[in-house]
Structure formats: structure tokens, C-alpha cells
Amino acid sequence: MLVAIAFLALGVVAALAGAAVFTVSSMARATYALALSFVAVGLQVVMLSQNFVGVMILLMMMMEMAVMAVFMVMFMGMNPALMPMSMVHGKRASLGTAGSVCAAMVLGIVLTPWPARRGAPPPELTAAIGRELLESKMLAMATISPVMVATIVGGVALALRRTRYDRYGDDLERPADDPQPGGVGR
């Protein structure tokens, strides 16, 4: 019973924090409202006995939001906290779409005759997931890894302004000329 109430409370926190993302008037508040929403969902996933994935969500999403806050401040030229303004387009249509999608989903959730649970969770769930990932589902992990590497390379290639010719000169021979030299003497 107590567990059910805690689960529901976390759900309410997640949804309210999610709504706060688009209603608060400060970029930092919006970002950390989203972080709060993620934390609530991560704790809910832990409550659903998936400790590894749940704590992983906490770890990754808080890290992501900490970085996201920097991007928010960097890219949004003005401070909406000082100049309140609406930064949305098609507000009515969007609200209508989101509302009807939500209604349809809730209707489906309530009306669907959900089947009974098949099988039982293994006793050592975290270890079982580890074995699964590195044995029979190795292919999924092996696919995710190059996708991640490609993302890193692609992201850096897109975002970098200075190329290697800017750093090392036309012949790529002179020592690196960086505006901010690093700490290991390259």
C-alpha cells in the first residue's frame, strides 16, 4: 500500500515537473524541472525492481541536464526571466493534438484487457541482465557501440569551427595553435 502511494506520488511529481518545463519563465528552472521529472521516473523504475536501469537513468539524465542547462543559457540570447514573452507557435493546435493523443492513449490503457504476467523475474536480476546483454543479446550492444562512436565523431565534426588546418597550419607541421592550450603540453 505504502509502495503504491509512493509510486503514484512519484508519478504526479514526474508529470507536474514535466508540465513545469514549458510553463516556468527561466531557462535554468525549465532544465532542472526536466531533471526532476527524470529523477522521479528513474526512482519509479527502481521501484519496478529494475535497479540497474533505474539508477542508470538517474545518472545519465542528471548529467545530461547539467550540461543542457549550459546550452540553454548559451543559445537563448535573451533572458525570459527578465523579458516575459511567449516562445511558442501554434499553441492551440499543439494543445489540441497533445490532448487528443493523451485521451486516446488513456482510453486504450483503460479498455485494453491486459494479459496476465508470463514467467517470473529471475532472483538475481542485475546479474541476469548483465549475462543477457553480454551473451545472447550481444548483437544489440555491439550495434549500439558503433552508433555511439559515430555520434561522438559526428557531433564533434558538426560543432567544431576550427579544423586541423587552423590548429596545425597548412602543412599540418607546426605546433598546435589553440586559443586555450591544454594541460599536457601538446
Partner 1 sequence: MTLQTALVIAAALFSIGLYGAISQQVVVMVMMGLELMVNGVMLAVAALWWFLAPHPSGQVLLLVVIAAMTVEMGMGFAVATVLHRERRVDMTDSATDLSR
Partner 2 sequence: MSWRGPDVPPQSQGQPLDAVLAALTALGALLLLTTGAAVLSGALDARAAGSRGTGLTRPFDEAARLLRQRRRRLVSADRLLWRVGTIGLLLVPVLMVAVVPVGSRAALPLDVGVLWFNAMDVLVWACVWLAGWGANSTYSLIGGYRFLAQALAYALPLMFSLIAPATGARSLDLPTIVAAQQGVWFLAWMPVAFATYCVAVLGFSVWGPLSPALGADLVGGVVAEVSGVDRLLMLAARYGLLAAGSLFAVPVFLGGSSGPLLPGEAWMLLKAAAVLAVLVWARRKIPVVRPDLFMEVGWLVLLPAALVQVLVVAVISVWRS
Cell of 141: 550492444
7-46 positions binding partner 2, by CB under 8 A: 26, 28-29, 32, 35
CA 163 to the chain's CA centroid: 30
- One residue of 77, 84, 90, 183 binding partner 2 per CB under 8 A: 183
109-138 footprint of partner 2 as x/- string (CB under 8 A): ------------x--xxxx-----------
| Alpha-carbon gap, residue 55 to 48, rounded angstroms | 12
Site residues for partner 1, window 100-159 (CB under 8 A)? 101-102, 105-106, 109-110, 114-115, 117-122, 125, 128-129, 131-133, 136-137, 140-141, 144, 147-148, 151-152, 154-156, 158-159
**Shortest CB 81 distance to partner 1, Å:** 14
**Beta carbons within 8 Å of 29's beta carbon, 6+ residues apart:** 20
Q: Under the criterion CB under 8 A, does residue 186 sit at the interface with partner 1?
A: no
Residue 50 identity: Q
Q: Residue from 13, 20, 55, 68 that binds partner 2 (CB under 8 A)? A: 55
CB atoms < 10 A from the CB of 39, how many? 20
Neighbours of 155 (CB within 10 A): 10
* Joined grid coordinates for residue 62: 542528471
Radius of gyration of the chain (CA): 23
Q: Residue 64 has which C-alpha cell?
A: 545530461
- Shortest Å distance, C-beta 161 to partner 1: 6
Quote the CA–CA distance of 21 and 88 in Å, as a whole number. Answer: 13
Which residues are at the interface with partner 2 (CB under 8 A)?
Answer: 3-4, 26, 28-29, 32, 35, 47-49, 51-52, 55-56, 58-59, 62-63, 65-67, 69-70, 81-82, 121, 124-127, 180-184, 186
